[in-house]
């Protein structure tokens, strides 16, 4: 396997559950707890801006309504993405990938960008996210890791920026998933953590890829995954795990 530049611990959506996900407040809080790498979700606004949001719709994590991909960035930027979480985060805005990239680069942090397309925009989103990431991290020592559940998005990302590493996300292990990751030129597979056992880890490592897990929030599961030889853990529990001491 090629050298792996990323730490073993990755903070999910910035700081997991302790701050409004995918906002700058969350990434700052995750860094405060010692994390050096973060996972985020990226999609496209109606006018082509790459911004952070997990859901296809706005209701759960903002005061907006409807499909996020139907609004322009000017409209999205005026939404409150913090009050849903707690009063202290009222007024926290949605975040463009560019703003997060500049913060990460200034602080020496790393990023796993999950390409999270609005349904029907898989290829366009994969292309746009990869191009924007390549532009923002041009000349950086460690590029972002691009991941997605959507093979079409990863294929488009590969065409747009083949130099950026990619990872296939999986919720279930299916026949052909390993071949699919290889065909996409992936450097890793990021699996729902119960999918990892001695066989699946061995298969992925033998194919020259790394094994990452989501979303792991208890110590027993962490110890099991390390014993299996997996390579990275995505967690919400930035308050429970201490990556500087656990490596």
177-189 residues labelled b (16+ CB within 10 A) or e (exposed): bbeebeebebbbb
- Asked whether the beta carbons of 130 and 163 are under 8 A apart, the reply is no
What CA–CA distance (Å, rounded) separates 31 from 43? Answer: 23
Of the residues 32, 54, 109, 193, only one is catalytic, namely: 54
Does residue 205 have an active-site annotation?
A: no
Residues facing residue 170 across a β-bridge: 191
- Asked whether the beta carbons of 26 and 13 are under 8 A apart, the reply is yes
Cα-based distances in Å from 69 to 47, 81, 107, 122: 9, 16, 30, 12
SS3 225: helix
Of the residues 12, 85, 109, 193, only one is catalytic, namely: 12
Cα-based distances in Å from 168 to 73, 113, 136, 185, 235: 28, 12, 22, 10, 18
Does residue 12 have an active-site annotation?
A: yes
What CA–CA distance (Å, rounded) separates 33 from 159? Answer: 36
Catalytic residues, which ones? Answer: 12, 54
């Amino acid at each position: 396997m090629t050298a792996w530049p990323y730490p073993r611990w990755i903070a999910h959506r910035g700081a997991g559950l302790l701050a409004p996900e995918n906002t700058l407040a969350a990434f700052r809080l995750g860094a405060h707890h010692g994390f050096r790498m973060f996972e985020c979700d990226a999609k496209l606004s109606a006018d082509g801006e790459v911004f952070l949001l997990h859901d296809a719709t706005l209701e759960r994590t903002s005061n907006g309504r409807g499909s996020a991909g139907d609004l322009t960035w000017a409209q999205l930027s005026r939404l409150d993405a913090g009050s849903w979480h707690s009063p202290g985060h009222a007024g926290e805005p949605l975040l463009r990938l560019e703003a997060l990239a500049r913060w990460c680069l200034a602080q020496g942090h790393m990023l796993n960008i999950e390409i999270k397309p609005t349904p029907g925009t898989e290829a366009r989103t994969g292309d746009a996210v990869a191009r924007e990431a390549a532009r923002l991290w041009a000349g950086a020592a460690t590029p972002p890791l691009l991941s997605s559940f959507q093979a079409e998005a990863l294929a488009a990302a590969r065409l747009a920026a083949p130099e950026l590493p990619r990872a296939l996300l999986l919720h279930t292990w299916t026949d052909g998933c390993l071949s699919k990751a290889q065909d996409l030129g992936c450097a890793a597979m990021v699996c729902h953590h119960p999918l990892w056992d001695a066989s699946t880890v061995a298969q992925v490592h033998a194919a020259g890829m790394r094994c990452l897990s989501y979303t792991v929030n208890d110590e027993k599961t962490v110890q099991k995954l390390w014993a299996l030889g997996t390579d990275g853990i995505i967690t919400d529990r930035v308050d429970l795990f201490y990556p500087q001491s656990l490596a």
